[in-house]
Homo-oligomer: A and B are copies of this chain.
Amino acid sequence: MIRILLADDEHLIRGAMAALLSLEEDLEVVAHAATGAEALAMARSFRPDVAVIDLQMPDLDGVSVAQTLALELPSCSTMIVTSHGRPGHLKRALAAGVRGFLPKTVSSDVLATVVRTVHKGGRYVDPALAAEAISAGDSPLTPREADVLELALEGAPVDEIARRASLSPGTVRNYLSSAVGKTGTSNRHEAARWARAKGWI
Contact = CB atoms under 8 A, between A and B. Distances in A.
A11 B187 contact: no
A190 B10 CA distance: 27
A121 interface: no
B11 A155 contact: no
Contacts of A20: 15-16, 19-20
Interface stretch (A36-44, A106-114, A130-138, A162-170): A106-114
A20 B157 CA distance: 47
Nearest to A185: B155
Nearest to A186: B157
Most buried by B among A10, A14, A83, A111: A10
A111 B12 contact: yes
Interface in A11-46: 11-20, 23
Given A19-B20, A20-B16, A105 B9 contact: yes
Given A12-B17, A20-B20, 16 more contacts: A10-B105, A11-B104, A11-B106, A11-B108, A12-B104, A12-B108, A13-B16, A13-B104, A14-B108, A16-B108, A19-B19, A83-B83, A154-B193, A155-B187, A155-B188, A157-B187
